A = this chain, B = another copy of it.
């Protein structure tokens, strides 16, 4: 097949993997979300979690804090080389806390490494990189996040 078409098919498969992962997270199904990783995959959720079981446990821990999560995926930019890929994507997520019912908004990036195993793209490494959060009263306005990968500094940042 034409290389540009193959690249588009792979890009679409990668995006659908990300969408399936999110669907499982928002369905409160950490095992289903972890199944989107390769067996030896690493999930970086404020700490490194190795393998599907550890990833599922970590996701369960995070999800236990919320009655609602809604992760909206945009700006998916994979760089595909044969059966390997890297990718940056954007996420905005709405949450409701179990304890208070308060909202939590989150803006971040997913920085991924992927591999195609037997025709199926999977995450080899997936890191969540925060750029912002918002809670009632904007109480976290001064909270620091890693920010957009490679963000350039200017006078305003000092």
Contacts and interface: CB of A to CB of B under 8 A. Distances in A.
Nearest to A154: B28
A155 B68 CA distance: 14
A92 interface: yes
Interface stretch (A34-42, A110-118, A144-152): A144-152
Interface string A65-88: 111101111111100000000001
Nearest to A18: B75
Given A28-B151, A29-B152, A102-B141, 13 more contacts: A4-B9, A5-B5, A19-B75, A26-B151, A27-B148, A72-B72, A72-B90, A73-B74, A73-B90, A94-B107, A96-B141, A103-B132, A103-B141
25 contacts: A1-B2, A4-B9, A8-B12, A16-B77, A19-B77, A20-B77, A22-B75, A23-B77, A26-B148, A26-B151, A27-B149, A27-B150, A28-B148, A28-B153, A28-B154, A64-B155, A70-B90, A70-B148, A72-B72, A72-B92, A73-B90, A74-B74, A94-B131, A101-B142, A103-B132
